[in-house]
Structure 1
Amino acid sequence: MTFTQLEIFALIAELKSFTATAERLGISQSAVSHALKSLETHWGVSLISRAQSDIELTETGQKLLSHVKELLSISSTLEQEVSAIHGLYEGTLRIGSFGASSSIVLLPLILEEFRKQYPKIDVYIDEGDDNEIPQWILERKIDVGFIISPDDRFDVFPLIEDIFIALVPRTYPIAKSKAIPVQALADYPFIMTTAGSQKYVKQLLKQFNIQPQIKCHFSQMLTIISMVNQQTGICIVADMALNQNLLSLYPDVCKRPLKPNIRRSIALAVKNKKHISPATQAFIKIAQAVLSKA
């Protein structure tokens, strides 16, 4: 068994393709097949189901994959530790990011400083929703991910607090208010976001025992703003996810804070802070420093 064989097995499981795995690693497809076969022979098990054209892990392959990822993560951390000792700080960093809040607002600020200090570290960004990022952390698919805290499954590093706001047609009488009472949402047509904030919006409505008059569901912020502009209804979104330049194009849409003010905490999370790589440590440190000034 070699780490190369483990890496090939993990990539086949991720990409579900021998060809794509070969291309990613810059080797031949036959070399990929040979490495996997050698690993299966060494362990005396079948890892990949070859009965169909689609590549699927066997039950044994599923069980062993999490341990393989754990080993590869530890190996990567070890290599980066050695690199850090020599002052090189080389390696890779895979980050999980959700929605506009982290991908458009937070990451550019953090990565600008990170790349200045660690230009030799290759950064990969995997984008998913609020539910996918924690799962990717558990599976070791990413080294660190943005989450909404608290989450007892992880070691968490607080970054910044965000609030939820209401988008209201300017023609609605309630638009004259400086802040929108949460209870008043029951009196107006409602547009429900199906993006990452949906879970938290539903929790907010449930908390205040509100059954909104939901007229439609949308996932894209541009569509939501356009529908509010057409007086379809009111929508609740995370303030940080709202592109202010985009909002300026719709003068008939008002942005109002909620009353009481509902907050959410955005943090970085890792599976176990005792086993994170120097690159991950550096990213977290820079993220907290940059956002403390924001």
Structure 2
Amino acid sequence: MLQFEIFRAVVDAGSFTKAGDKLGLSQSAVSHAIKGLEAELNLTLLHRGRSGISLTSEGEAMMAYVRQILHLTEKMKQEAGRLNGMEVGTLRIGTFPSVSASLLPSILEKFHSAYPGIHVEFHEGGYTELKQMVSSNIIDISFLTSNDSANLDFIPLFQDHLQVILPGNHPLQTKKQLSVRDIASYPFIMPKDGCDDLIKQLFAKHHLQPKVYCEIADNQAIIAMVQKNLGLSIVPELVAHGNHDGLSRVRLKEQCFRTVGLALQNLPQVSPAVAAFINLTKSVVGGHIIHEGRK
């Protein structure tokens, strides 16, 4: 089993050295374990070159089995711990930036307090990357939107409504609500790799073309550019949540939202750690954390 764990760590880290650092093993020990696994399977699993390592086609096929085996082994350990009256194991969570900033700290604080024996790893990425990681057993569960979780089991948590953000001194900032028609003539900062599809559909539905000043993926960069009066933007409430000097938020007249939830491969067969995380996350999201942004 250790060979499988080392193989997974090497592939995920992209190098023998980084994998060794994570596992507390020397580079030579990692290399020896991989060579032993290749000899046992009579297959070359990794391409080794100056630019790093990569999976061979045979390695890709074997890695799918390795991830399944390790996933089931972890599930078995957690179930054994539960039967012994202990919550133990490792939980791998996927998350995207706005959840990382607004929700994850409170969830992890409560989770660590309730289940100190469960080690949590989390991976941040875009929707497509997170979906792939769940599908490939790289992570156990991930925050995702309903639109990006096809072919996965999805647990809806809340609706994250879009809203207009604009500089604090902007003439439109006194309005109680704004339509896309109201902002179509102003320079617009288009989010990328997130809600851009929803926003573009919203403008198209009203036969409008936004005056896109630039497209930016990083949420904090979007907020900073709006604060500097470089344009307006439309973002989910979770992104604009909190106090931002020089920034105004106005309700979007057109009802438009993303449904944020948890995506996983097989809800009926979750491990004890995943089940605990789901239940705790539901309780946290149902509390004041989301509603503070909806006052």
Flag whether TM exceeds 0.5 (same fold).
yes
CA shift at 1:51, angstroms?
4.8
Deviations 1:103-129 (A, max 9, x none): 121112222221221111111121112
**What is the aligned partner in structure 2 of residue 112 from structure 1?**
109
The range that moved more, 284-293 or 24-33, is 24-33
Matched residue type, 2:4: L
Query: Which one of the candidate residues 55, 61, 64 is aligned to 1:63?
Result: 61
Indicate whether 1:135 and 2:129 are aligned.
no
Query: Which one of the candidate residues 263, 271, 276 is aligned to 2:270?
Result: 276
Helix, strand or coil at the partner of 2:208: coil
Q: Which runs of 5+ in 1 are unaligned?
A: none
Deviations 1:218-259 (A, max 9, x none): 3344443343334332111111111422x2x21xx3211111
Matched residue type, 2:206: F
**What is the aligned partner in structure 2 of residue 287 from structure 1?**
281
| Residue correspondence of structure 1 range 91-170 to structure 2 within 5 A | 91-100=89-98, 102-150=99-147, 151-170=149-168
Indicate whether 1:180 and 2:178 are aligned.
yes
CA shift at 1:53, angstroms?
4.8
Helix, strand or coil at the partner of 2:207: coil
Indicate whether 1:75 and 2:69 are aligned.
no
Helix, strand or coil at the partner of 2:214: strand
**What is the aligned partner in structure 2 of residue 35 from structure 1?**
33
State the distance in 2 between where 1:70 and 1:107 align.
27
**What is the aligned partner in structure 1 of residue 292 from structure 2?**
none
Deviations 1:88-108 (A, max 9, x none): 1111111111012x1121112
Answer whether contact 1:185 1:210 (CA < 8 A) is retained.
no
Question: Structure 1 residues 53 and 171, CA, compared in 2 at 3 Å: closer, same or farther?
Answer: closer
CA shift at 1:81, angstroms?
0.6
Deviations 1:44-65 (A, max 9, x none): 1110112545211111111221
Deviations 1:183-223 (A, max 9, x none): 33322221112353333323333343321111123334444
State the distance in 1 between where 2:28 and 2:88 align.
30
Matched residue type, 1:204: L
State the distance in 2 between where 1:53 and 1:163 align.
44
TM-score, normalised with respect to structure 2: 0.90
| Residue correspondence of structure 1 range 148-227 to structure 2 within 5 A | 148-150=145-147, 151-170=149-168, 172-194=170-192, 196-227=194-225
State the distance in 2 between where 1:50 and 1:172 align.
56
**What is the aligned partner in structure 2 of residue 15 from structure 1?**
13
Query: Which one of the candidate residues 248, 251, 270 is aligned to 1:254?
Result: 248
Answer whether contact 1:158 1:266 (CA < 8 A) is retained.
yes
The range that moved more, 283-292 or 213-222, is 213-222
Question: Structure 1 residues 242 and 58, CA, compared in 2 at 3 Å: closer, same or farther?
Answer: same
Answer whether contact 1:195 1:220 (CA < 8 A) is retained.
no
Question: Structure 1 residues 227 and 59, CA, compared in 2 at 3 Å: closer, same or farther?
Answer: same
Superposition CA RMSD, Å: 2.0
Question: Structure 1 residues 54 and 256, CA, compared in 2 at 3 Å: closer, same or farther?
Answer: same
Matched residue pairs, number?
287
Matched residue type, 1:164: L
Matched residue type, 1:290: V
Helix, strand or coil at the partner of 1:115: helix
CA shift at 1:277, angstroms?
1.4
Question: Structure 1 residues 269 and 226, CA, compared in 2 at 3 Å: closer, same or farther?
Answer: closer
State the distance in 2 between where 1:217 and 1:70 align.
38
Q: Which runs of 5+ in 2 are unaligned?
A: 289-295
State the distance in 1 between where 2:47 and 2:220 align.
43
State the distance in 2 between where 1:227 and 1:31 align.
49
CA shift at 1:170, angstroms?
4.9
Question: Structure 1 residues 38 and 157, CA, compared in 2 at 3 Å: closer, same or farther?
Answer: same
